[in-house]
Amino acid sequence: TCTNEGFFALYKGFVPTFLRMGPWNIIFFITYEQLKKLPLF
């Protein structure tokens, strides 16, 4: 891949994947941080 298309060919599809997973990761991180503050145990 690198020899034919160059180094940046490794990042093909990064933007669509990030746009798909980005909102989920943000919501998960915020929820996780809020749950850590609760005295569950």
Give the pLDDT confidence of 1-41 residue by residue, as tens digits: 677 888 888 888 888 888 899 899 999 999 999 999 998 76
Number of domains in the chain: 1
Position 23: which residue type? Answer: P
Separation between Cα atoms, residue 9 and residue 12, nearest integer Å: 5
pLDDT reported for residue 38: 92
Q: Does any domain span residue 21?
A: yes
Q: Does any domain span residue 37?
A: yes
4 close to 12: Cβ distance less than 8 angstroms: no
Residue 29's domain comprises 12-41
Q: Does any domain span residue 2?
A: no
pLDDT reported for residue 9: 84
Q: Given CA atoms 24, 30, 32, 35 in this order, what sign does their dihedral have?
A: negative
Separation between Cα atoms, residue 12 and residue 34, nearest integer Å: 34
CA nearest neighbour of 34 among 21, 22, 26, 18: 26
